[in-house]
Every structure is written in C-alpha cells, then in structure tokens.
Amino acid sequence: MHTGVEHMQKLNTQAEWITRAKAVLPAGGFGNFDPEIIIARGQGSHVWDEDGNQYIDYLIGSGPMLLGHGDPEVMEAVLEQLPKGMTFFANNSKGIALAEAIVDAVPCCEQVRFVASGGEADMYAIRLARAYTARNKILKFEGGYHGMSAEAQMSLAPATQVNFPQAVPDSAGIPQSVADDVLIAPYNDLAAVATLLGEHDDIAAIIAEPLQRIIAANPGFLQGLRDLCDKHGVLLIFDEIVTGFRLAYGGAQEKYGVTPDICTLGKIIGGGFSLAALGASAEIMQHFDVARVGGDKWLMQLGTLSGNPVAAAAGLKTMEILRRDGAYDRLREIGGTLQKMQRDALNDAGIAHQICGDETLFDIYFTANTCRDYRSARHDNPQTNVVYNATLRQNGIFKAPGKLYPSLTITDADLAQTHDAVLKAVAAISAA
C-alpha cells in the first residue's frame, strides 16, 4: 500500500489529482470552486496549476489575498509567530492587538468576538440580534449571501420565483421552522422593507451585504435601511465579510457613511488564514459575557481556532500595509483599468453588458437591463458568460465566473496580458 508521500512523488499531473479527488471528495472538490483545476502554488499576483500552467489570479482565494500570495512582510510576521505557538485556545497578545485594530478602523465596533469563518460570524450575528432584541424573525434580501447557516441558506439562489416575503430553502436538511422565521425582500426596495417592518413586530434584525455580491446599493438605500431600523427598533447587520477592508479601510461603513448596529468581518482580517469576527457596541456585545447579562440572556460562543495568533499576526500586518498612503487609490486604479478595458472591448463589439460592483470588486452581466436586485441581475444568455470566462482562463486569467477581485500585486504586465485575454474572450462570444 502506497503512502500519501509516495503518491505525491509519483502523481504529477493535474488529471491524476482530479481522479484522486473524485474518489475521496463529494463531486470531486471542496465545494468552493471548479474541481477541474488543481492549484499547486501562488506567488504575488499569479497562481500555477499542477501541470505548471500560470495564471493571473483574480480569484485571490475568494478575496482574502488583497496583498497577493506570499507577501514578504506578512510572511515575516507569520514566521516570527510560528515558533512561539500556532494556537492556544486562550487569549493571546496578537489576537488582542488585532481586536484593537479592528475597533479603531470600523465605525460600529466597540468590541469584537473572533470566530474561524465568515459564515460562523454571520450565524452568530443573527443569534446576537435575537438575544439583544428578544425577537425571532430575520429579514434578509433575496440573493444575499451570508454563509452556510440555515437562515443564510434561505433564498440565496432560488431557482423559482415566489411571492415575497416567502423564504425558499436552498439546501436540503433545513426544517420548515427556519423558513417561518425568515422574511425575504428584494434588494434596493425600501418600500418593500417598510411594508414588512410595518406588518411584523417581531423582527430582530435586517441583514444585508452593503454591496450584494456585485449589486450596488442605490443611492439612499443603505441610509434608508438605517432609518427604518431606528424607527422600528430593529437591528441593522452589515455583512462585511467581503467589503470590510476592501471598499475602504473602514469598509462599506466608511465608504457609504452608514453605520450598522452589528457587522461581520472576514477574509482580509486573517491575511489568508482562517479568521473572522463580528463586532458591535459594548451594550450589544455584552450578551457574550454571562457575568453581565446572566445565563438566560447569555450567548454561548467558542471555537478551537478563534483568534489564533498566526492568523492574527497575518491580519495585523495586512492591515498595517493597507493603512499606508496610496494603497486604496492604487487598488481602485487597478480595478478601474480592468473595468475600462472590458467595457471598451465590449462596446466596440456592440455586445450589451453591465459592469456591476465597485472598482475593488466587480464583474459583468451580459444584458442591457439595469441590475438592481437578484431577479434583474442575470445574463440574457448564460452561455455567453460561460464562453467569456472559459476563454479568459484559456488565456491565463484565473477568476470566478461571477466575480473579479483586483489585488495590489497586479502589475502593468499583468494588465497588458489581461487586456489581450479580454480581446480574445470578446471575439469568442462575438463568434458564438
């Protein structure tokens, strides 16, 4: 019987790794991304697959690698921490310092609690809102992604359209009782939200992505949510797992000037390691302190790797680099260049499209329609998007089929190669 080490020495091709994955992983993958590509390594703005093919990385680990792979300063911080200990299941100075940095940066945070993943943070944010308000119902937006909890899996990507505010489970194994406590509204529709808040007096919170996937909030929408929550005594949760420390150093709260009651953070704050957090005022966060609120109002939360010092060290150094002059200007410059090259090429070819999102996070819908919510943000012909993204990958561009993440390591040479790939992708969909 061969050991894993022997297998690694003998199996070198991507096809062989794919075959092995199919034997031991459901659907042959981790559930995150296309299992037909096996990434071997990353450096700077590039990744390489197991066959040695090189790609410009616009997936960046689904967002956390804003500084690129193997940033030397982050690596130094991690290597300094590793000999001192990997995790303790106890307070550590790196985790405390990271909490201080988050509180300094994020408007709604007076205190934070660490967890290991963004989905965990969103789950606890919902539970915290229920504990604080003593109400059960949650209002979320159709198409909004908030992790893998039962509540989050309501109307994330419903295949059939139902009447609002009915919630549709996107996963097996979720009881009807969960759906009964989740109300669904269309994104960017304040009137619908106002109606639901007027009809239900047991809503604990509204949870929203300030940038829903890549759908931008209409002017006044986020402030309108803030005003409606204040009027009805409902908490506002901003899911900033993606937008935190990306749209601006203080996240969407800083960029849009709207402060929620609770926010969740992830990806960038762990510097590429498993770490996330939720934060709020000290008054709300006291529900994590049994000595202050008593057993009946206490929100139990613990996690083996929560606030581990290696992730905290990586996150601290990442945040330090992002505070330096010009970091966000450069990120937006790169994103703007990527948007323009695609817009110009598609316009020249006469292909209807909408570039949706922010310079720091965006992608294309192949439609002439305005993309304002889940039901309107779709391709006129989904196959156009399939061909476009497949051609990009064939020409050395690594990205998700519905999202492009710029990073600070993208070079002028990367942009030139991306432009060439875009021209070939536009030619491919023109000929299809």
**Token representation of residue 408:** 């600070």
pLDDT value of residue 3 = 46
* Residue 293 forms part of a structural domain: yes
Work out how many domains the chain is built from and give that number.
Answer: 2
Are 82 and 188 part of one and the same domain?
yes
**Alpha-carbon span 259 to 342, nearest angstrom:** 33
Are 46 and 89 part of one and the same domain?
no
Are 404 and 256 part of one and the same domain?
no
Are 193 and 277 part of one and the same domain?
yes
Are 202 and 156 part of one and the same domain?
yes
* Residue 16 forms part of a structural domain: no
pLDDT at residue 324 tops 90: yes
Domain finish residue from 322, 339, 355: 322
CATH number at residue 122: 3.40.640.10
Are 338 and 388 part of one and the same domain?
yes
**Alpha-carbon span 145 to 297, nearest angstrom:** 28
Question: Given the structure tokens 């960038």, which residue do they identify?
Answer: 268
State mean pLDDT over 206-222.
98
pLDDT confidence bin for 10, thresholds 50/70/90 = low
**What residues does 264 pair with on adjacent strands?**
239, 278
pLDDT confidence bin for 12, thresholds 50/70/90 = confident
Beta strand 182-185 with 137-141 is parallel
Active-site residue, 145 included? yes
pLDDT at residue 17 tops 60: yes
pLDDT at residue 7 tops 90: no
**Which of 239, 261, 358, 414 does the annotation list as catalytic?**
239
Q: Nearest-CA neighbor of 221 among 194, 182, 184?
A: 194
Active-site residue, 58 included? no
Domain finish residue from 274, 297, 322: 322
**Alpha-carbon span 94 to 407, nearest angstrom:** 25
Domain span at residue 369 reads 37-70+326-431
pLDDT at residue 43 tops 60: yes
pLDDT at residue 407 tops 80: yes
Are 300 and 370 part of one and the same domain?
no
Q: What is the percentage of the chain residues whose pLDDT exceeds 70? A: 97
Domain finish residue from 272, 305, 322: 322
* Residue 424 forms part of a structural domain: yes
Beta strand 262-265 with 235-240 is parallel
pLDDT value of residue 80 = 98
pLDDT at residue 286 tops 80: yes
**Token representation of residue 220:** 């006044």
Min mean pLDDT across 34-38, 45-49, 70-74, 159-163 is at 159-163
Are 340 and 314 part of one and the same domain?
no
pLDDT value of residue 1 = 40
- DSSP of 202-252: -EEEEEE-SEETTEEPPTTHHHHHHHHHHHHT-EEEEEETTTBTTTBTTHH
pLDDT confidence bin for 32, thresholds 50/70/90 = very high
Q: What is the percentage of the chain residues whose pLDDT exceeds 90? A: 97
Are 210 and 339 part of one and the same domain?
no
pLDDT confidence bin for 57, thresholds 50/70/90 = very high
Are 233 and 348 part of one and the same domain?
no
Burial of 69 (0-12, 13-18, 19+ CB in 10 A): buried
Are 340 and 296 part of one and the same domain?
no
State mean pLDDT over 311-339.
98
The chain-wide mean pLDDT, for the chain, equals 96
Are 297 and 236 part of one and the same domain?
yes
Q: Nearest-CA neighbor of 222 among 100, 101, 108?
A: 108
**Which of 55, 58, 124, 145 does the annotation list as catalytic?**
145
**Alpha-carbon span 410 to 214, nearest angstrom:** 21
pLDDT at residue 126 tops 80: yes
- Looking at the chain, how many residues does it have? 432
**Which of 267, 317, 399, 403 does the annotation list as catalytic?**
267
pLDDT confidence bin for 432, thresholds 50/70/90 = confident
CATH number at residue 333: 3.90.1150.10
